[in-house]
């Protein structure tokens, strides 16, 4: 029996995108037909202000296809080019009701989100954290490439139209020779370069989908798109470099930006003066314990790959044995060495599961303290063999006595 799936449609987003790119309204039947490839549809809902413009004509068609129109009122405020500004809560309502559906229907394994709005990335992350399969259907040219990366599967709306056209002309037109995916990758990078657009992995894949109608690296024998790009790099078709916290793709004859020999994470932190321990425990140390000469950082909740520069935190004094044990084991379960982002995320997950109570600032303090106490050792290495530059990683010193004690304690 096929798995159950639920569909949530950001009607305003998909409508405006298809009208802008293809001069046509969304093909509801094509969307549903594609969704059925992933399971049995048990619920389908579309969100919009159905009193506005062409949206008024949609509810009868949606009803006839088993889709429930959900009314979200638009509101107008003074300002903007037309002397009034329009807003609504479609994304909020869709996310809330999808989350509610998630908890009330645990038997549903697949969620199809019809949208291109990058604001739904947290919703995708929530669904996937609960073991759900997430499929995004959107117009490639109008879809956030970060949304594409966050989903399990992305289906370009243009591929639905192409499949429909191919079905109608299958017996009329000769079958076209399949394109070489690696040459399409090169063409995608060339197009992005010509248009001055970002060339991160998600953007490159999005451009390939635009060119081919659909593209799935798994059909080419690769588990992840990055693996596909690395193979192209091995064939000297492209070059990759870690830049601005993301992997950028360049052509072989391009000169990519020089990478610095060191970064903030690789520098030894400056010695900070520690104030006397107060009688209020953690709160005193973190809010009042800085030396008067120590500058307050502009942003303390760093997650960009750099540990915090604060040093008024002590692992053994400011963490309970349970907290130290839980954090150390969480880091030990990561692949070694791990990036700062991976370590930060593993500790944040403990907080989200209710196993710890730490703010983002406190998590950064914990990681910095682990470095100061030699729980973690810095390692400069390439993220993968073909990478052009080294990055800073952190390895847990499992031979250190305190780390052993934390890992072995019950």
Domains detected in the chain: 4-156 (3.40.50.1010), 181-250 (3.30.420), 264-279+300-408 (1.10.10)
Q: How far apart are CA 155 and CA 137, in angstroms?
A: 5
**Residue 150 or residue 83, greater confidence:** 150
Residue 263 has a pLDDT of 45
Q: pTM to 2 decimals?
A: 0.50
Say if residue 259's pLDDT is above 80: no
**Residues making up the chain, counted from first to last:** 410
DSSP character string of 388-409: SS-EEEEEE-TTSHHHHHHHH-
pLDDT, average across residues 158-176: 62
DSSP H stretches of helix in 174-320: 181-194, 201-212, 225-234, 282-287, 315-318
Spatial CA neighbour of 14 closest among 127, 146, 141: 141
Q: How far apart are CA 218 and CA 204, in angstroms?
A: 16
Residue 270 has a pLDDT of 42
Assess contact for 14 and 138: CB atoms under 8 A: yes
Whole-number average pLDDT of the chain: 77
Q: Which two tokens stand for residue 70?
A: 């959900």
**Residue 402 or residue 38, greater confidence:** 38
pLDDT, average across residues 55-73: 90
Range ranked top by mean pLDDT from 21-35, 198-212, 333-347, 378-392: 21-35
Spatial CA neighbour of 91 closest among 57, 128, 118: 118
Spatial CA neighbour of 74 closest among 93, 49, 45, 47: 49
Identify the three-state secondary structure at position 67: coil
Say if residue 297's pLDDT is above 50: no
Please name the residues in contact with 126: beta carbons below 8 A apart, sequence gap of 6 or more. 99, 102
Task: Determine which of 96-100, 312-316, 372-376 has the lowest per-residue pLDDT on average.
Answer: 312-316
pLDDT one-digit tens code per residue, 221-252: 887 788 888 888 888 898 887 765 667 888 88
Tokens 């399409």 identify what position?
184
pLDDT, average across residues 186-196: 87
**Confidence band, pLDDT 50/70/90 cuts, at residue 100:** very high
């Amino acid at each position: 029996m096929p798995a159950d799936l639920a569909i949530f449609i950001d009607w305003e987003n998909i409508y405006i995108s298809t009208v802008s790119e293809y001069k046509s309204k969304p093909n509801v039947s094509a969307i549903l037909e594609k969704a059925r490839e992933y399971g049995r549809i048990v619920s389908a809902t579309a969100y919009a202000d159905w009193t506005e413009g062409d949206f008024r004509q949609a509810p009868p068609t949606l009803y006839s296809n088993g889709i429930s129109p959900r009314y979200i009122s638009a509101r107008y405020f003074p300002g903007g080019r037309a002397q009034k500004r329009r807003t609504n809560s479609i994304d909020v309502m869709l996310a809330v009701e999808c989350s509610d559906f998630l908890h009330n229907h645990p038997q549903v394994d697949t969620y199809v989100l019809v949208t291109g709005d990058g604001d739904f990335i947290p919703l995708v992350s929530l669904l996937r954290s609960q073991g759900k399969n997430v499929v995004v259907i959107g117009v490639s040219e109008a879809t956030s490439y970060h949304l594409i990366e966050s989903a399990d599967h992305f289906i370009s709306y243009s591929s639905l139209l192409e499949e429909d056209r191919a079905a109608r002309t299958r017996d009329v037109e000769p079958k076209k020779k399949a394109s070489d995916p690696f040459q399409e990758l090169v063409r995608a990078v060339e197009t992005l370069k010509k248009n001055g657009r970002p060339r991160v992995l998600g953007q490159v894949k999005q451009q390939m989908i635009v060119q081919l109608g659909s593209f799935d690296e798994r059909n080419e024998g690769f588990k992840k798109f990055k693996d596909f790009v690395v193979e192209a790099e091995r064939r000297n078709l492209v070059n990759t470099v870690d830049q601005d916290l993301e992997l950028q793709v360049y052509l072989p004859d391009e000169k990519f930006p020089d990478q610095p020999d060191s970064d903030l994470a690789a520098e030894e932190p400056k010695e900070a003066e520690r104030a006397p321990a107060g009688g209020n425990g953690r709160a005193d140390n973190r809010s009042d314990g800085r030396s008067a000469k120590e500058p307050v950082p502009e942003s303390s909740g760093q997650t960009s790959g750099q540990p915090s520069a604060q040093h008024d935190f002590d692992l053994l004094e400011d963490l309970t044995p349970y907290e130290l044990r839980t954090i150390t084991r969480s880091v030990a379960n990561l692949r070694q060495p791990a990036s700062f982002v991976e370590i930060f995320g593993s500790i944040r997950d403990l907080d989200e599961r209710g196993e710890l109570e730490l703010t983002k600032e406190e998590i950064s303090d914990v990681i910095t303290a682990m470095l100061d106490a030699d729980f973690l050792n810095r390692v400069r290495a390439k993220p993968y063999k073909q990478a052009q530059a080294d990055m800073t990683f952190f390895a847990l010193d499992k031979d250190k006595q305190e780390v052993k004690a934390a890992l072995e304690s019950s």
